[in-house]
Structure 1
Amino acid sequence: MEDIEDLLVGGGGGGPPGVRLVQPKHKKKNNNIQDSLKSYTAAKIPGTQTIYMRTFGCSHNQSDSEYMAGQLSAFGYNLTESQDEADLWLINTCTVKSPSQSAMDTLISKCRSAKKPLVVAGCVPQGSRDLKELEGVSIVGVQQIDRVVEVVEETLKGHEVRLLTRKTLPALDLPKVRRNKFVEILPINVGCLGACTYCKTKHARGHLGSYAVDSLVGRVRTVIADGVKEIWLSSEDTGAYGRDIGVNLPILLNSLVAELPSDGSTMLRIGMTNPPYILEHLKEIAEVLRHPSVYSFLHVPVQSGSDTILTAMNREYTVGEFRTVVDTLIELVPGMQIATDIICGFPGETDEDFEQTVNLIKEYQFPQVHISQFYPRPGTPAARMKKVPSNVVKKRSRELTTVFESFNPYVGMEGKIERIWITDIATDGNHLVGHTKGYIQVLVVGPETMLGISAMVKITSVGRWSVFGEVIEILTENVISHENCVDKISCSNLNETCCSKDSETCACGLTSGCEQTEKNNFSVSKDDRKPVDYRSQNLIGWLLRKRKDNSHRKVENEMVSEMEEKQRTSAKLHEWALVDKALLVGIFMSLLTIIAVFFIWN
């Protein structure tokens, strides 16, 4: 079907300007479906229905879903995690792997069986608009997420709507409902410059399109004011940023770092980047990664340890160049952590090619390796190449997984004191999730009020995928002016003294003022150990978008109040202890006096 940029008269009523309503191919059958949907939603006032959303794929897809949820919520729609309670389902899809698309197909079939109106968004409809599974379904493209309300409205009326073509990027200041209110996923560009033979994503996301530096800086200012504690830069290839608009990644990173709070309360995480586009900027990127408010972590996919296979993949780099990226960053950035990706069983991969991949993983012992089997994606060059037998692909995947799981990258961390930033609840419901400067996952026990704060922890044990820690101090950061700067106060990296009264720049490089760090001892009672899920509380309306979220300050104030109360209680106990001592001395002296008098009289 054609893209929708015009209004088609007929088909059961008009739509909003710029939206085209698709004329049914099978009029009688589709009209019955439309009549059923109309009767299903007729009893509700438009804009008050309930929407169920499901997201597949990468962090960029997650950000798109958060933007769509924000617009729907601002318009009045309710969001639910219950499929049965929903009046409409919205599925945001991923086309990277066959399993993700198969899960989408299953969900679409389930929605049809439930006779619920359905909107499909994301990379699948954008890259494969003629799929049989999408017949009779409303779809919204990856660059049309700012019009999701229109699509939902028309779909609830029983219309089939398709929005796919767009020449400009969606605005960054749209209303947003974050899955995690402390984490902002910030898309810095869409599409990529590569032409990997196995990748379907470019069919959907297209050629590189970068947001302007000023727009991204403005967004960072807004989310910091909203109380966000982690900012994830997201794209199909972070390293390619800006090449279409005359800038580059280091220019953007330095501009964003300048906006981060000087107390280290908000951290920046740089997203996935392919090797070709950061080779010329390694030293500049390393300098940014050393900044105390930037995680020393980078996701750099290698995909194969064989140059032969990399050429067949059209990855545009060699294994040697990948090694240069990794070695340079590890050398220049203390505590640097690197994650990578591997595809097992790419067409033409021999046993020797696979052995080179195994040796690469053994050599570097990456803390995170995302291992996947090759999945031929329709329409890609690799789908036409001669495939490796599926049993061989599975065997290689299992072997590489065994190799990866045979070493523990966190051995030696036991007993160490680390600063972490706590932003999430673990899946077990009993731990909170924090990350070190190197983005190592640390699980701690504590109340929900610890979310969004930074703390010092002692590592008590290590696992294969994360480490466990005990909170020993809650850090409360207060930025103070130079006029009030004491002789020596803590710097944001906690390892240096900051400045004296007359200095203008902190030892760690901060120029916006010194900061004083209060360290509060913190104990966790048994009753406080299970945190409460906060996600359902995070509905941000359009009119509240620019309002500053002071929840983190409230948490800090509560902890300070708790410490002050403990100090007052301790003082009272101390006073009673002095009285008790005085009484005991008095009683002892009285006894001595009585005994003396007794002996004198006798």
Structure 2
Amino acid sequence: MARYHIETYGCTANRGESRQIEQLLRDGGHHRANGPEEADVAILNTCTVVEKTERNMLKRAKELEEATADLIVTGCMALAQGETFNEAGVDADILHWDAVPNAVLNGECPTTTPDTEPVLDGVIGILPIARGCMSDCSYCITKQATGKIDSPSVEENVEKARALVHAGAKEIRITGQDTGVYGWDEGERKLHTLLERICEIDGTFRIRVGMANPKGLHGIREELARVFAENEKLYNFIHAPVQSGSNTVLGEMRRQHQVREFVEVVETFDAALDHWTLSTDFIVGFPTETDTDHEQSLALMREVRPEKINVTRFSKRPDTDAAQLKGLGGTLKKERSSEMVELKMEIVGDAYGEMVGERHEVLVVQPGTGDSVQCYDEAYRQVVITNASEHGIEPGDVLDVEITSAENVYCFGNPI
């Protein structure tokens, strides 16, 4: 497990983003360190309100880079002026807020404690449906903490979801180490059954399904795609971390799936849904990864064109089999990571750019920066509405918007 140090500068919205990052890191079994010197990774959530602030952010980034093993820079300055850090010689990953937890998790499954219960945070209800997984990835230390899949019954999870809705949840986030193998310990994968049952609960809310490994999804892909197509309460969104486009590397990672199975999952959802989001993860620089393997990952990304992509540079976790392998040099990993991130920004930017001029129904989930709100459309794509108070918009509202412009990883919309 990683020890993290996080520092936040700027407005209330930034503090809210840091709180969400920490929540996901804790869910992943990671712990806050007693300062950057004791941390495996430092996270700097930046502000860029004035020039003096920018200088302070650069200064602090350099200090953190010297004090800790890895540095992640996120927040307003990272998004608006990310190149400034590179130009100043700061060796850091420049990431959007949403990508930070996955980068720290290093491709590992999230970890929940045995007594994890549903949580209501604003209008977001978090529902852990099971604990553990069926995988044995060579780089992942999480398995040592969680063990095999342990699935409560469908009825028990439905009742927990109903309680969240009655408590005011407008978005239910289904979580687990690997949601795709829910029910495997009982001899039958039941994710599609669970989702169908939760959709029958009275109320206005949406459901987002959390990470599911491609192997688990592959066996129920037809059933899942049907449930998604038939139920508007489900965000048309799946998170299936492929991790590499090379079957050779996947074998060394012990990922259980092959590239073709991942592609078949994508093709099945493509056939069933018109507007949906594929989220996936790539680990760059696994110790056995060759130039050819890296090119295969880039080729896969171009082929399936995910609308959300998490790119993580491989780092060793203690007591894992992959930690015994001779690693690639940091420079090579950084070069490959930069190449993949550049392609990622092109693909994701195109996806959001194509939405400009379209109309979508969105759920308002939480406050954003200043007088804005963060919303998600039917495919769980982020839509920002500015001047929210002028329109009387609050978290939990459902409204139609016209997409007016797009950034790389989100777009802006006006209420209709």
Into which bin does the TM-score normalised by the smaller protein fall?
A: 0.7 to 0.9
Answer yes or no: is the 8 Å Cα contact 2:358–2:403 preserved in 1: yes
2:293 paired with 1:293: no
Q: Is the 8 A contact 1:196 1:314 kept in 2?
A: yes
**Once the two structures are superposed, what CA deviation does each residue of 1:401-430 show, in whole Å capped at 9, x if it has no partner?**
11112232122322221110001112x223
* Letter matched to residue 340 of structure 1: T
- Are 1:410 and 2:355 counterparts? no
Asked whether 1:231 is paired with 2:172, we answer yes
1:274-325 alpha-carbon deviations (Å, 9 max, x no partner): 0111212111111221211100001010100000000000001111111101
Aligned to 1:364: 304
Q: Which runs of 5+ in 1 are unaligned?
A: 1-52, 65-90, 110-140, 144-168, 473-602
Query: 1:436 is matched with which residue?
Result: 377
The amino acid of 1:170's aligned partner reads D
Aligned pairs (5 A) from 1:299-318: 299-318=239-258
Counterpart of 1:383 in structure 2 is 323
CA distance in 2, matches of 1:56, 1:406: 25
Note if 1:284 corresponds to 2:229: no
Q: 2:201 maps to which residue?
A: 259
Aligned residue type for 2:207 = L
- The reply on whether 1:450 has 2:390 as its aligned counterpart is no
Deviation per residue, 1:235-275 (Å, 9 max, x gap):
110001111134421221222112152xxx20011111001
Letter in 1 for 2:242: V
Cα distance in 2 for partners of 1:353, 1:342 equals 12
Which amino acid letter does the alignment assign opposite residue 277 of structure 1?
G
The amino acid of 1:228's aligned partner reads A
Contact 1:444 1:470 in 2 (8 A): yes
Amino acid at match of 2:243: Q
Secondary structure, aligned partner of 2:185: coil
Deviations 1:64-120 (A, max 9, x none): 9xxxxxxxxxxxxxxxxxxxxxxxxxx8569xxxx974449x9xx9xxxxxxxxxxx
Aligned to 2:53: none
Partner of 1:319: 259
Once the two structures are superposed, residues 116-151 of structure 1 have per-residue CA deviations (whole angstroms, 9 ceiling, x without a partner) of xxxxxxxxxxxxxxxxxxxxxxxxx953xxxxxxxx
Residue 394 (structure 1) aligned to one of 321, 334, 337 = 334
> For residues 507-539 of structure 1, what are the alpha-carbon distances to aligned partners after superposition, in whole Å with 9 as ceiling and x for unaligned?
xxxxxxxxxxxxxxxxxxxxxxxxxxxxxxxxx
Q: CA–CA distance in 2 between the matches of 1:421 and 1:271? A: 18
CA distance in 2, matches of 1:186, 1:235: 8
Q: 1:416 to 1:183 in 2, by over 3 A?
A: same
Rounded Cα–Cα distance in structure 2 between residues aligned with 1:208 and 1:254: 21
| Contact 1:199–1:380 under 8 Å retained in 2 | yes
Aligned mate of 1:349, from 274, 277, 289: 289
Maintained 8 Å contact 1:362/1:404? no
Say how many residue pairs are matched: 323
Q: Aligned equivalents of 2:19 and 2:280: distance in 1?
A: 26
In structure 2, the CA distance between the partners of 1:334 and 1:59, relative to structure 1 (3 Å rule), is farther
Instruction: Give the AA of the match of 1:257.
Output: C
Matches within 5 A, 1:98-497: 101-103=40-42, 143=113, 169-170=114-115, 172=117, 176=119, 178=120, 180-247=121-188, 248-261=190-203, 265-290=204-229, 291-407=231-347, 408-426=350-368, 428-445=369-386, 446-447=388-389, 449-472=393-416
* In 1: Cα distance, 2:275 partner to 2:344 partner: 20
Task: Show CA shifts across 1:7-50 (max 9, x none).
Answer: xxxxxxxxxxxxxxxxxxxxxxxxxxxxxxxxxxxxxxxxxxxx
Distance apart, 1:457 and its partner CA: 0.7
Distance 1:419 1:55 in 2: 24
Q: Distance in 2 between the 1:58 and 1:468 partners?
A: 26
Q: Letter of the aligned partner of 2:366 in structure 1?
A: D
1:211 Cα deviation from its structure 2 partner: 1.8
1:77-96 superposed matches below 5 A: 92=31
- Residue deviations 1:367-412, cap 9 Å, x none? 1110010011000000001211121111100111111122321223
The alpha-carbon deviation at position 361 of structure 1 amounts to 1.1
Do the aligned residues in 2 keep the contact of 1:420 with 1:434 (CA within 8 Å)? yes
Alpha carbons 1:273, 1:299 under 8 Å: kept? yes
Q: Call closer, same or farther: CA 1:389–1:269 in 2, change over 3 Å.
A: same
In structure 2, the residue matched to 1:563 is none
The 8 Å contact of residues 268 and 295 in structure 1, kept in 2 or not, is answered as yes
For 1:235 and 1:142, the matched residues in 2 are separated by 7
CA distance in 1, matches of 2:21, 2:291: 33
Unaligned 5+ segments in structure 2 are 1-17, 44-63, 68-110
Counterpart residue identity of residue 324, structure 1: E
CA distance in 2, matches of 1:429, 1:100: 31
Whether contact under 8 Å (2:112, 2:176) holds in the other structure is no
Secondary structure of 1:450's counterpart equals coil
